[in-house]
Structures are given as structure tokens and as C-alpha cells.
């Protein structure tokens, strides 16, 4: 599949170890989608609105999928999610909460705020790779994306 046909993935994650593990899991799972990484909620919103250091659209293109951690500095993931889903230009982008949180209230708040899926990061790397592979197949190949406006 050509790269131009692949969705772009935005990963909002403040933990460097989790960023490296996610990148490695993408590689191990054979996911070739372009992965953009931001380190906090404020940076995620800047990327999505193409402002600040993300004004160049070719360097911060509209993602086709957002992987969003909950516990991030500056603006937490649930607030980022609410802002995405309240924005007419962004609300159709699928958002997957990808977090280590196992709290039921986080799951409920995620879905109440409009997330499309809530995935808990497994501790074992092999299970994480398997989860990423399944996620990539579904969101990257099977799911039909809403046309961007």
C-alpha cells in the first residue's frame, strides 16, 4: 500500500518509554502508517489546530487517527478529547484512548467525552504488539474514514 493511502496517526503521550515502546510495537506489528508524536495535551491541540510550532501543514497534517493518553501535563487527555469532539473540523477524527489507566471512571469519562475506543496498554510487550497490530488493521484498513472538510 502506498504511503499516500495510509492514514496518519497522532500519538499524544508524555512518557518517553511509552513513546519508544509504541514506535517499536508499530514496527514489530508491520504498521507503516506515519506516526507523529506530541508530548502533552497542549502540544496535541497545537498540532491539531496547526498553530505555534505546528503551523506548517506538511509537517503537521490532519491525522486520520489519534492515540491519546489520559494523564498528560498542561492539558489532560480527557480535556483534549472534549475539545476535539466539540470542534466541527476535528470531531470526525477517531480518537482511541491508549492508556495504562485501569480505572472504571476513566473508561466511563472517555466514552462520555466521545472517544471511539478505550484501550489499556498491556504490560507485556508481545501483547502490546498484538494489540497495535489489531488496532492498525481495524483503524488503518477496515474502518472507513469520514472525509475531511
pLDDT tens for 75-126 read: 999 999 999 999 999 999 999 998 888 899 999 999 999 999 998 887 888 8
pLDDT tens for 35-62 read: 999 999 999 999 999 999 999 988 899 9
DSSP 45-110: HHHHHT-GGG--TTTSPPPSEEEE-SS-SSS-HHHHHHHHHT-TTTTTS-EEEEES---HHHHHHH
How far apart are alpha carbons 52 and 45 in whole angstroms?
A: 10
**Can you read off the three cell numbers belonging to residue 109?**
469519562
Please report the domains of the chain, with CATH numbers, ordered by start residue: 3-138 (3.40.50.2300)
Confidence of residue 28 (pLDDT cuts 50, 70, 90): confident
**DSSP code of 129?**
H
**DSSP code of 61?**
P
pTM, rounded to two decimals:
0.89
Amino acid at each position: 500500500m502506498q504511503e499516500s493511502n495510509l492514514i496518519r496517526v497522532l500519538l499524544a503521550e508524555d512518557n518517553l518509554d511509552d513513546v519508544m515502546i509504541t514506535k517499536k510495537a508499530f514496527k514489530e506489528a508491520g504498521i507503516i502508517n506515519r506516526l507523529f508524536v506530541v508530548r502533552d495535551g497542549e502540544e496535541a491541540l497545537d498540532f491539531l489546530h496547526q498553530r505555534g510550532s505546528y503551523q506548517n501543514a506538511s509537517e503537521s497534517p490532519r491525522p486520520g487517527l489519534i492515540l491519546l493518553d489520559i494523564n498528560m501535563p498542561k492539558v489532560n487527555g480527557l480535556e483534549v478529547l472534549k475539545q476535539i469532539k466539540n470542534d466541527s473540523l476535528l470531531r470526525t477524527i477517531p480518537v482511541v484512548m491508549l492508556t495504562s489507566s485501569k480505572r472504571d471512571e476513566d473508561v466511563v469519562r472517555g466514552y462520555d467525552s466521545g472517544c471511539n475506543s478505550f484501550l489499556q496498554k498491556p504490560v507485556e510487550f508481545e501483547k502490546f504488539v498484538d494489540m497495535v497490530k489489531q488496532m492498525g488493521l481495524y483503524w488503518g484498513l477496515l474502518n472507513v474514514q469520514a472525509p475531511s472538510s
